[in-house]
Copies of this chain bind each other. A is one copy, B any other.
Amino acid sequence: MPAGELPDVFDGVEAAVPPALADHLRGIGLIDHHVHGAFVAPVDRAAFEASINEGSTDPVPAFMTQFDSPLGLSIRRWCAPLLGLEPLAPTDEYWARRAELSSKELARTMLPAAGVSRWIVDTGFKGDLICTPERLTELSGVASSEILRLERLTEDLLDDGTAPEDFPAAFRAALAKAVDDPNVLGTKTIAAYRIGFDVDWSRPTDAEVVEHARTLGAGTHPVRVADPVLIAFGVHEAAAHGLPIQVHVGFGDRDMDLHRSDPMLLLPLLRTMTPVPVLLLHCYPFQRQAGYLAQAFDHVNFDVGLAINYLGVRSTGLVAEALETAPFAKQLFSSDAFGPPELHVLGAVLWRRAMGLVLGEWITAGDCGVADAIHLVDLIGVRNAERVYGL
A residues apposed to B, CB below 8 Å: 11-13, 53-56, 58, 61, 63-66, 68-70, 73-74, 77, 87-88, 251, 253-254, 257-259, 262, 264-265, 267, 270-271, 284-285, 288-289, 292-293, 295-298, 307, 310-314, 317-318, 320-321, 323-330, 362, 364-369, 372, 375-376, 379, 387
Contact = CB atoms under 8 A, between A and B. Distances in A.
A327 B73 CA distance: 11
A69 B326 CA distance: 7
A286 to B, nearest CB: 9
A251 B292 contact: yes
Contact of A63 (B73, B313, B387): B387
Nearest to A367: B313
B259 A68 contact: no
Nearest to A77: B367
Given A295-B56, A320-B314, A267 B254 contact: yes
A252 to B, nearest CB: 9
B259 A327 contact: no
B295 A54 contact: yes
A190 to B, nearest CB: 17
Contact of A68 (B296, B327, B365): B327
20 contacts: A53-B327, A55-B297, A63-B387, A68-B375, A68-B376, A68-B379, A69-B326, A73-B362, A77-B366, A88-B369, A251-B292, A254-B297, A258-B267, A285-B289, A307-B325, A310-B325, A312-B367, A313-B367, A314-B324, A318-B324
Given A288-B284, A292-B258, A364 B88 contact: no
A88 B368 CA distance: 7
Contacts of A314: 320-321, 323-324
B372 A88 contact: yes
B296 A254 contact: yes
Task: Report, nearest first, the 6 A-B pairs whose CB atoms are least far apart.
Answer: A55-B296, A12-B366, A64-B329, A254-B296, A285-B288, A259-B264
Given A66-B327, A376-B68, A55 B317 contact: no
Contacts of A12: 364-367
B368 A323 contact: no
Contact of A292 (B55, B77, B87): B55
Nearest to A7: B366
Contacts of A55: 292-293, 295-297, 325
